[in-house]
């Protein structure tokens, strides 16, 4: 189907995502990788079927499983149901990422019908399962999985039955092209080469609180020679677009920061509209203490 040999399907509980997955696999002749097939597959490659609890082990697991799936995507076509597939294959150009949703009342109704439960029980089941899924993806993959920008296509099955849904997905796959500017919002930005570990740590803290950042996106010329060539410039470490704020981190001792302070003074003179926050060693020590990162710096 076009350039896509893989479809990952993320779905809300009772959104018909499972039915759409089965039908798409059948129509396209793709292998359906559901939970049981997933467990078999990972067993074949001697990998645990669930992400490990321990952070470093989990990182390794995500990388290994991602590589395994990307290699499989080169050889065969499959529909991957759930399992964080949208994250594991986020960078795979052969994967089409689909999110299937439906309104809460409709999903409650489907649970009531399927499991013969009253509305209260069905609502409770739905809330528990939604929370469980949200936590699983957030905890293990760091994914706000309902963010539509992580997907090529979002389908609301309130308006379409399974057959119509599949037709829409197939049409979307046929018509999907690589955008001229930027790809779909990736779960993780391209890896950034930070020049200091403190910057990487700070970026993780910002990610943790969902604060968007850009790393060294702008160079501010501070001084020019007689021919107009820039002879001194300043590049703050971060820009936080939501706050229109540049952040500079310096872990040097205060008395050694005079050169940087001079640059920042100049920056403020030349660009008075620019907001800059400097995080000095003392402030940084406070951040480490606040976020329990001190032990990494013993």
Partner 1 sequence: MTDPRLGVRVFTREDIRKRVSEVARQIERDYTEKRPVIVAILRGAVYFAVDLTRALSIPFDLDFMALSPFRPGLRRAEIEKDVDTDLQGRHVLILEDIVDTGLTLNFLVRNLERRLPKSVRVCTFLNCPARRIVDVEVHYFCFEIPDIYVVGYGLDFRGDFRNLEEVYSLYDPSGRSTQLLKEMGKGR
- Residue ranges binding partner 1 (CB under 8 A): 54-56, 58, 135, 138-139, 141-142, 144, 204-211, 240, 242-243, 245, 247, 277, 279, 282-283, 286-287, 289-293, 296
Rg (CA), the chain: 24
Q: Nearest distance from residue 142's CB to partner 1, in Å?
A: 3
Closer of 35 and 289 to partner 1 (Cβ): 289
Q: Nearest distance from residue 183's CB to partner 1, in Å?
A: 20
Q: Nearest distance from residue 16's CB to partner 1, in Å?
A: 26
Phi, psi of 46 (to 5 degrees): 55, 40
Q: Nearest distance from residue 280's CB to partner 1, in Å?
A: 10
Closer of 93 and 148 to partner 1 (Cβ): 148
Contact present, 95 and 73 (Cβ < 8 Å): yes
Closer of 218 and 282 to partner 1 (Cβ): 282
Chain CA centroid to CA 239, Å: 19
Q: How far apart are CA 237 and CA 94, in angstroms?
A: 34
Closer of 229 and 292 to partner 1 (Cβ): 292
Q: Nearest distance from residue 197's CB to partner 1, in Å?
A: 12
Closer of 144 and 161 to partner 1 (Cβ): 144
Task: Put residue 225 in one of left, alpha, beta given phi > 0 → left and psi -120 to 50 → alpha.
Answer: beta
Contacts of 243 by beta carbon, 8 Å cutoff, 6+ apart: 275
Closer of 2 and 142 to partner 1 (Cβ): 142
Closer of 9 and 247 to partner 1 (Cβ): 247
Q: How far apart are CA 172 and CA 170, in angstroms?
A: 5
Q: Please, what sign has the CA dihedral across residues 67, 69, 193, 53?
A: negative
CB neighbourhood size of 103 (10 A): 13
Q: Nearest distance from residue 208's CB to partner 1, in Å?
A: 5
Q: Nearest distance from residue 271's CB to partner 1, in Å?
A: 19
Helices (H), the chain: 17-28, 35-44, 55-75, 85-88, 104-115, 119-141, 162-175, 197-208, 258-270, 281-290
Closer of 174 and 290 to partner 1 (Cβ): 290
User: What tokens appear for 76 in the block?
Assistant: 């065969």
Q: Nearest distance from residue 287's CB to partner 1, in Å?
A: 7
How far is residue 134 from each of residues 10, 22, 24, 167, measured CA to CA in Å? Answer: 11, 23, 25, 28
């Amino acid at each position: 189907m076009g350039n896509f040999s893989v479809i990952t399907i993320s779905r809300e509980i009772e959104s018909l995502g499972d039915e759409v997955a089965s039908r798409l696999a059948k129509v396209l002749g793709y292998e359906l990788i559901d939970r049981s097939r997933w467990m078999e597959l990972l067993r074949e490659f001697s990998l645990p079927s669930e992400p490990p609890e321990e952070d470093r082990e989990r990182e390794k697991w995500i990388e290994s499983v991602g590589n395994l799936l990307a290699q499989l995507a080169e050889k065969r076509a499959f529909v991957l149901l759930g399992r964080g597939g949208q994250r594991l294959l986020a960078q795979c150009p052969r994967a089409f990422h689909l999110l299937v949703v439906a309104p809460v009342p409709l999903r409650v109704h489907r649970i009531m019908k399927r499991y013969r439960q009253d509305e209260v029980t069905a609502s409770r089941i739905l809330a528990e399962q939604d929370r469980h899924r949200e936590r699983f993806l957030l905890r293990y993959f760091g994914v706000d999985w309902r963010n539509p920008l992580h997907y090529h296509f979002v389908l609301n099955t309130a308006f379409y039955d399974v057959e119509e849904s599949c037709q829409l997905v197939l049409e979307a796959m046929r018509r999907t092209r690589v955008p001229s500017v930027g790809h779909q919002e990736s779960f993780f930005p391209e890896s950034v080469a930070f020049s200091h570990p403190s910057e990487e740590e700070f970026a993780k803290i910002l990610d943790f609180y969902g604060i968007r950042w850009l790393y060294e996106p702008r160079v501010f010329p501070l001084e020019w020679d007689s021919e107009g060539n820039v002879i001194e410039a300043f590049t703050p470490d971060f820009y936080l677009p939501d706050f229109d704020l540049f952040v500079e981190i310096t872990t040097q001792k205060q008395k050694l920061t005079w050169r940087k302070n001079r640059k920042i003074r100049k920056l403020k003179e030349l660009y008075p509209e620019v907001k800059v926050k400097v995080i000095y060693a003392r402030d940084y020590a406070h951040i480490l203490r606040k976020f329990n990162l001190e032990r990494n710096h013993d």
